[in-house]
Amino acid sequence: MIAARRSLLSWSAFFASLAALPPLLPLLGVDGGGAVQIGVLNDIGIYLILALSLNIILGHAGIFHMGHTAFFAVGAYAAAILNTSCGWPILSALPVAGLLAALLAFLVAVPVIRLRGDYLLVVTIGVVEIVRICLVNNIFGLTGGANGIAGIGRAVILGRRLTTPADIFYLIWSFAALSVLLFSLLENSRFGRALNYIREDEVAAAGCGINTGRHKIQAFVLGAFWAGMAGTLFAVKTRLVDPESFTFSESVMLFAIVILGGAGSMAGIVLGTFLLIGLQEIFRDFLEARMLVFGAAMVAMMIFRPQGLLPARARRYDTGGRTGASPGAAGREKKPGPPAGNGAAGT
């Protein structure tokens, strides 16, 4: 419990210090009141929410899923269409966008979830491409073709219109904080433990009475639901959605964030998102060389540190002294064995 409290504290400190940034940046004399920096943080926030949702699928359940952009796109377009064509306030589209993305995920997952890892990877890549081609081809006359949908209305919360990057910042990062809270509860739930068991050994998990197929589909659908809601936030932020925002390379980026940060580890994913998206923004001047370095770094990471930058720690539970250890010993840091839980090294 001490560990849980400590982690709650450090997460609160992290989000609180981020929340202090928008009023602080102008005071520190950052150019233009820090609007650019806030914009970058908004991008990072959206990617963080997406990466956290992918983490359930890829990190916890160990499903090789490289098509997360497809669900993100469905959520963003659903929100955009509901707002511009049906006149819904954009934020009220949030649950519907999530549900539509979840529906797509369900339809994709049911037939293919039992495929072996790398085949599944290819199917999910195919899904991203199919979704993107549908968007470009203006499917059902709804998606606006290659130009996408512009003119999405501003979000309104409690009568306040969100107009500045700072307003959007608080919206996105509150959602990110909520995601961290809910996903950490999920991780430590019976469901989360079952997913980890499936990742480590599917046959043994099935032997212990876990319905592996159903759990994997649930993880997939849940991750997609969250990505769909992230899509709505994206629509709120950019007020324009077009197919070019949802390409295969975005999927690869998300995949890389989870794997390089540390599959199954939320702190790792936060670090990964800041590094990959943040550095990408900082090194905009070296636009061409940065992806070269990124590719080489991915190879090097897999050779030297396949478990990611901040790998997930093995779970420890307070046994209440029943195994003979004194109750106080449970919270003490023991030397961890080889990390049992990291999807990167698992097959």
Partner 1 sequence: MQEFLQQLINGLAVGGLYALIALGYTMVYGVLKLINFAHGELFALGAYLGLTLLTALGLAGGGPAAVALILLFAMGLVALAGYLLERVAYRPLRGSGRLTAVVSALGASIFFQNAMMLVFGAKARVYPGGILSGEVFTLLGAQIPATRILLLASSLLLMLLLYWFIHHTRTGAAVRAVSLDQGAARLMGIDVNRVISLVFLIGPALGAAAGVMAGLLYGQIKYDMGVLYGLKAFTAAILGGIGNIPGAMAGGILLGVIEALGAAYISIAWKDAIAFCLLILILIFRPTGLLGERTADKV
Task: Report, in Å, the least distance between residue 74 CB and partner 1.
Answer: 16
Q: Does 252 bind partner 1 (CB under 8 A)?
A: yes
User: Binding to partner 1 by residue 255, rule CB under 8 A?
Assistant: yes
- Taking CB under 8 A as the binding criterion, the range among 38-46, 151-159, 163-171, 287-295 that sits at the site for partner 1 is 287-295
Q: In angstroms, rounded to a whole number, what is the distance separating the alpha carbons of residues 255 and 22?
A: 29
Residue 138 contacts residue 145 (beta carbons within 8 Å): yes
Report the run of H or E that residue 241 belongs to, with start and end.
Answer: strand 240-241
Q: Where are the alpha helices (DSSP H) in the chain?
A: 2-19, 21-27, 35-54, 68-84, 94-112, 117-136, 165-187, 190-200, 202-207, 212-238, 248-261, 266-273, 279-282, 287-304
Asked if 123 interacts with partner 1 (CB under 8 A), we say: yes
Smallest distance from the beta carbon of 122 to partner 1, in angstroms? 7
Segment near partner 1 (CB under 8 A); pick from 15-23, 253-261, 264-272, 313-321? 253-261
- The reply on whether position 288 binds partner 1 by CB under 8 A is yes
Question: Which residues partner with 149 through β-bridges?
Answer: 241
Least distance CB 324 / partner 1 (angstroms): 36
| Contact string 205-244 vs partner 1 (x = CB under 8 A) | ----------------------------------------
Minimum distance from CB of 164 to partner 1 (Å)? Answer: 34
User: Which range binds partner 1 by CB under 8 A, 180-188, 209-217, 275-283, 286-294?
Assistant: 286-294
Q: Which of residues 49-78 bind partner 1 (CB under 8 A)?
A: 64
Residues in binding contact with partner 1, number by CB under 8 A: 44
Q: Which is nearer to partner 1, 39 or 145 (CB)?
A: 145
**Run of H or E including 334:** none
- State CA 312 to chain mean position distance: 16
Q: Determine the straight-line distance between the first and last CA of the chain, rounded to whole angstroms.
A: 32
Please, what is the angle between helix 117-136 and helix 248-261, to 10°? Answer: 140
Overall size of the chain counted in residues: 347
35: left (phi over 0), alpha (psi -120 to 50) or beta: alpha
Q: Does 346 bind partner 1 (CB under 8 A)?
A: yes
- Cα 125 to Cα 185, 200, 251, 296: the distances in Å are 30, 24, 8, 22
Part of the chain binding partner 1 (CB under 8 A), chosen from 44-52, 233-241, 269-277, 290-298 = 290-298
Q: Which is nearer to partner 1, 116 or 190 (CB)?
A: 116
HSE toward the beta carbon, residue 158, CA cutoff 13 A? 2
Residues found near partner 1 in the complex (CB under 8 A)? 64, 111-112, 115-119, 121-123, 125-127, 129-130, 133-134, 136-137, 248, 252, 255-256, 259, 288-289, 291-292, 294-299, 301-303, 306, 343-347
